[in-house]
């Protein structure tokens, strides 16, 4: 507990408007480097694009587009930019009292996101699926518009949008946790399938094994074991397979350079891309481009 006392603790009475304790703002600075801190209000952090680093609940994760965190009061966390990695982060701060008496039939489901303590921890992080990301972005934009323009009734509109945002997050979390019950082996496969879907959606981002384990709600070592058991290959090999297959498609299109393609499919260093590509295909990206790029051109002329 002595370490907790040394962590900066921000209070809503100094950080938020006393009459209506709510604010929303965006971060995109490459110099962002927060120290570990806590606050007595709720913060919803959503990665709009790119990737950055988020430390919370003893975990340090590289987070990317679609990742959403609900930081309950009293939870230590910090957010930092990653060198040479652009990002946009939308932060929504509000006092839990703002929604007091507003939860209605969703009281039991949503209260845990607003209350300090261990009950909120399992629900603090989720990856919003691509089909729901536009809805989340729209709700955040609605919140920002209401906050900036402050037209008549804006307080009510903000409360409604906040409730909708929390409901979307809760439904996404429930969808992630929902497992088929007909066959016991399906229960073990579903978290792995969730991690595989995440790789397909985000192969251009940094995806360490710890991130996949977090998505599957497993310890990294157990996740690594289960992933290989279900798929027949390691998590890293699977990520590389998805990336290289996508790279092959882009090379056949002849519209980008090898360097551009490598970066687009998630490799930050050309040498790593070339080495991985050759390991999986037996030839370099340049040789592949000569062989299959020419073939594609021939087919187009034909």
Question: Are residues 209 and 73 located together in one domain of the fold?
Answer: no
Q: What is the largest CA-CA distance in the chain?
A: 74
No. of helices (H) and no. of strands (E), the chain:
13, 9
Q: Which residues, listed in sequence order, are joined to residue 23 by a DSSP beta bridge?
A: 93
Task: Provide the phi-psi class of 205: left if phi over 0, else alpha when psi is between -120 and 50, else beta.
Answer: beta
What pLDDT does residue 275 have? 94
Question: Are residues 43 and 114 located together in one domain of the fold?
Answer: yes
Q: What is the domain-level CATH number for residue 63? A: 2.60.120.280
Q: Tens place of pLDDT for every residue, the chain, 302 residues?
A: 334 447 899 999 999 999 999 999 999 988 899 999 999 999 999 999 887 888 887 777 777 788 899 999 998 999 999 887 788 999 999 999 999 998 888 888 888 888 886 555 556 777 787 788 899 999 999 999 999 999 999 999 999 999 999 999 888 877 766 544 443 445 567 889 889 999 988 999 888 888 888 888 777 777 888 898 888 889 999 999 999 999 999 998 878 899 999 999 999 899 999 999 999 999 999 999 888 765 545 444 44
Question: Are residues 50 and 153 located together in one domain of the fold?
Answer: yes
Question: Are residues 134 and 261 located together in one domain of the fold?
Answer: no
Question: Are residues 113 and 207 located together in one domain of the fold?
Answer: no
What pLDDT does residue 302 have? 44
Residue ending a domain, choose from 232, 249, 268: 232
Residue ending a domain, choose from 132, 152, 177: 177
Q: What is the domain-level CATH number for residue 241? A: 1.10.10.60
Question: Are residues 153 and 9 located together in one domain of the fold?
Answer: yes
What pLDDT does residue 4 have? 44
Question: Are residues 89 and 119 located together in one domain of the fold?
Answer: yes
What pLDDT does residue 293 have? 61
Number of CB atoms found within 10 A of residue 82's CB: 16
- Range(s) of the domain holding residue 226: 184-232
Question: Are residues 156 and 202 located together in one domain of the fold?
Answer: no
Contacts of 53 (CB under 8 A, 6+ apart): 60, 61, 62, 63, 79, 80, 81, 82
**Terminal alpha carbon distance of the chain:** 73
For residues 44 and 123, is the Cβ–Cβ distance under 8 A?
A: no
Question: Are residues 103 and 122 located together in one domain of the fold?
Answer: yes
- How many domains, in total, are found in the chain? 3
Question: Are residues 201 and 117 located together in one domain of the fold?
Answer: no
């Amino acid at each position: 507990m002595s370490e907790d006392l040394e962590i900066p603790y921000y209070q809503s009475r100094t950080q938020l408007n006393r009459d209506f304790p709510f604010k929303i703002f965006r971060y995109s600075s490459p110099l962002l480097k927060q120290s570990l801190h806590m606050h007595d209000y709720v913060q919803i952090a959503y990665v709009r694009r790119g990737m950055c680093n988020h430390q919370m609940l003893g975990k340090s994760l590289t987070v990317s587009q679609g990742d959403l965190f609900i930081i309950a009061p009293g939870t230590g966390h910090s957010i930092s930019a990653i060198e040479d990695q652009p990002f946009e982060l939308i932060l929504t701060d509000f006092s839990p009292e703002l929604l007091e008496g507003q939860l209605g039939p969703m009281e039991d489901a949503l209260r845990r996101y607003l209350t300090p303590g261990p009950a909120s921890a399992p629900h603090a992080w989720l990856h919003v699926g691509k089909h729901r990301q536009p809805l989340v972005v729209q709700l955040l934009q609605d919140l920002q518009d209401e906050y900036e323009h402050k037209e008549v009734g804006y307080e009510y509109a903000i409360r409604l949008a906040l409730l909708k945002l929390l409901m979307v997050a809760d439904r996404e979390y429930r969808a992630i946790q929902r497992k088929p019950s007909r066959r016991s082996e399906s229960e073990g496969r579903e978290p792995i399938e969730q991690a595989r879907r995440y790789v397909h959606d985000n192969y251009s981002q940094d995806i360490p094994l710890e991130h996949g384990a977090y998505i599957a709600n497993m310890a990294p070592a157990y996740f690594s074991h289960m992933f290989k058991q279900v798929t027949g290959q390691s998590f890293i090999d699977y990520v590389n397979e998805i990336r290289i297959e996508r790279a092959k498609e882009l090379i056949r299109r002849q519209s980008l350079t090898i360097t551009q393609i490598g970066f687009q499919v998630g490799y930050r260093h050309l040498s790593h891309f070339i080495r991985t590509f050759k390991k999986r295909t037996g030839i370099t990206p340049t040789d592949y481009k000569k062989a299959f790029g020419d073939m594609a051109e021939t087919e187009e002329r034909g």
